[in-house]
Amino acid sequence: MNEPPNTVCPSSTCRPGAKLFGIVLPDGHVALTSECIEVDREFAQIAHEGRPPEQRFRFASGCMEGACRQWTGKQCGLIDRLVAEHERQLGEVIPPVSLPECPIRPECRWYSQRGAQACSVCSVVVTDMALSDAALPREVALRRAHYRERTGISSEKSTPHSPSKARGSQ
Ligand code: SF4
């Protein structure tokens, strides 16, 4: 997939100039906003007074490539690891039947790299957890919980996917 100009990272931090594009719901699923909301200094200051804003929202800002520790030299290692971990634990990442509306898709680093698979995994990424290598299993555990909730399958690793169910509501 071609890389768009001005590629943005969809798992950035809350700072002035970043764009808020997702809200983490109580069940851990990310609700995408219809438009990006630009973070200003006041929003960032207030947001940091409570729980880390990266646990409550999703932010996008310019991909820093080599200045980011997730950069492998050619691409973003984080989305590759999230997809690989999902595949290791749950099997193939099944893209949603139709892509969710996402205000940053044209510029999204993860989408340009992994296409619809990225959007499937992205729906349960919480940046404050995804930024930590040690927390990756927690993210996957969260995804497993979602999978169980959506499919009613309690032992998903040993049960073949039912594509119509596994795609869930994005
Ligand atoms: S991976 Fe997909 S859903 Fe997530 S931010 Fe990128 S385009 Fe949007």
Averaged pLDDT for residues 122-128: 78
The C-alpha torsion from 43 through 29 and 79 to 33, rounded to 10°, is -50
pLDDT band at 3 (very low <50, low <70, confident <90, very high): low
* Atom number, ligand 1, closest to the C-alpha of residue 109: 6
Share of the chain above pLDDT 70, in %: 72
Q: 158 CA to middle of ligand 1, Å?
A: 28
Contact predicate 70/77, CB 8 Å: yes
Mutate-to-test residue for ligand 1 from 122, 127, 170, highest number of ligand atoms within 8 A of CB: 122
Share of the chain above pLDDT 90, in %: 51
Mutate-to-test residue for ligand 1 from 58, 102, 169, highest number of ligand atoms within 8 A of CB: 102
Which pLDDT does position 144 carry in this prediction? 47
Burial profile 92-109: b = 16 or more Cβ within 10 angstroms, e = fewer: ebbbbeeebebbbbebbb
Better-scored residue on pLDDT, 47 or 149: 47
> What pTM was estimated for this model as a whole?
0.76
